[in-house]
Structure 1
């Protein structure tokens, strides 16, 4: 009797423990799924912010490129105005030098003329008789007097010619000075325009650098969230690894006719974050809308937005095996659906963290990633 009571107590305890394990596991799975959803929301918010920053960065880069073109044009304009100013300044300098030479020549001629007139005047006032007496005859006297008069007349003509030439050069110098001053104004305007553009480019570059720093901060946040998300995903897979799904082999290639691999399983530089990270699956490029097939028999345990994976489907094949199909444009199944190998589960897209339409295909064993293509060799 005592033995029966002991056996009954042991059986009751076992039943109670078994009953408590199932709710515990179910509650733990529910908590993990809820945490996953919270992380997905945060990732989406971060990605939305990142998209805005990326748009702003692209816009700033375009503006910087335009400013660089404008600066190049402004520099050419400045160079041209500098050349024009230098030429005008040199022309003014030469003209002023020529004018100075003409004024000096005129002054010298005036001195010579005054001296000669003075000498003739003095000769006329003082020694006309000397000219008469020195002359051999009247004809010689007239010749001597006419010579002096012609000399004075010639000097006066030279003086007039020099005065006219000086006035002409002076006028040309004034015109050249006007052109030089205009060239100087254009040069100053070109310098100011280039300085303004240089300032704008510096401001845009500072804004772009700040933008890139903000992007890097968000990348770090997303990487942390993605790591947390992957940990939770592993936990979900492990919790469902001992499901009662009939174990089916993974033998059906999910994208018949599309064998190209754009990114293999393993470590790589992430195309978006530009950081080294483990690529947990294989990327298979295909046109948007291409049918994605279940790799084996199983049950759909997730069919929704899945953070960086975008629209994703996870199928539990039993025996610890799960497959994931990510970045889909549309889903063809829902949670709880039973699928057979070759059934359509989704359609290729470029949702989530994606740089183009493709299928991200994963195979995990008890939550641990493995190379998906090994099942199709």
Structure 2
């Protein structure tokens, strides 16, 4: 177990190192285009801020739902305990009244007036039963009152947490609105810098080449890293993968993108903030911003297969995380200078792009 943990830690550290090397290499390439580079740096900075804010907001909203569910359950428990308490008070009240009426007949006189041992035994048994029942009723009531007090304390604690979360949510939503306005301004600025078709094609080519080199570096690294978990790839489930997000598939794989460039993935129209789900079990091997693709997450599925998710608003997983099929890994956005929200999605095998429409159902 210790060995496996050490190997997993070593793999994560090496993946993080490779990710930093990819980002550093990208920064060197960017130096050749000063004006465009300055705008893209601003875009990257804003995209990352949006990603961090959105991730915190998503975590806050998830916790809000959990706290609200707990509050509802605690309110239900409180209601049930109050009902139990009222019933126990009624029982105890009846027993006290009964004891009072018997007591008025003078317990000692009742004992002395019995003319047979059998009657005497019945009177003693009755008094013992009354006393025992009353003591048990008091004990039951005590337990109920303690449980009720504990539930009320938890209720108060959760209500305070709920108020705190609502405040954080409002703050993060306001930050997100401001950052998105900033993002829109930078997208316009980016479009103003790339004015000609030739500039656009050259920029797209550089972005695509940078992505290809990044994925090649990741693939090479995976081959040389110790494997904590062996994944079986995607070959056996071809055509049965779920799409990572619901929406209309645009920019069909293989069609002309610009100039001689062709689409190596697909773009799925979706609303900003929609959840992006992992298509199959694997490990996150990249989770950061990439030129032209914005906030990107790459999942390795074993046997040379990878899936890539780009232009996200937020990345919910980090390098080294194991992810299940259908697990949320990102939120749809328009990072990387996109004019509208949507998800860029690729599947690759041994570095070669595959048509996602052949693999997803």
Normalising by structure 2, we get a TM-score of 0.45
Compare CA radii of gyration and give the structure with the larger one: 1
Structure with more helix by fraction: 1
Q: Which has the higher contact order (CA 8 A, sep 6+)?
A: 2
TM-score (norm 1): 0.44
